[in-house]
Amino acid sequence: MIKHKMVSHILIPEHKKLSSEEAEKILGKYNISKKQLPKIRINDAALEGIQCEAGDLIEITRKSEIYGDLKFYRVIVR
């Protein structure tokens, strides 16, 4: 088992790589394709410690005092 260093900073929301099944479920739920999602570069500091490749889907969870946890999705690009 390889442990990865996760970026931990108050200003960086949680980033999680979705499995291919989870990604397909999200794309189907919103009836969108990966091309329609905002992009995040593979060398972005927030992805440090996450094993990911171009084309993977990332779920970003931002905390809001008013709305609770908000989920955003990005596709990884080179």
pLDDT per residue over 35-46, tens digit each? 999 999 999 989
Domain extents in the chain: 14-77
Pairwise pLDDT comparison (43 vs 4), residue with the higher score: 43
What is the share, in percent, of the chain residues with pLDDT greater than 90?
Answer: 78
Give the global pTM: 0.82
CB count in 10 Å sphere of residue 11: 5
Closest CA to 50 of 24, 32, 74, 68: 74
Rounded CA-CA distance 34/19 in Å is 14
* Mean pLDDT of the region 26-42: 96
Q: Per-residue confidence at 18, pLDDT binned at 50, 70, 90?
A: very high
Asked if pLDDT for residue 26 goes beyond 90, the answer is yes
The residues facing 69 across adjacent strands are 63
Q: Could you name the CATH architecture of 14-77?
A: Alpha-Beta Complex (3.90)
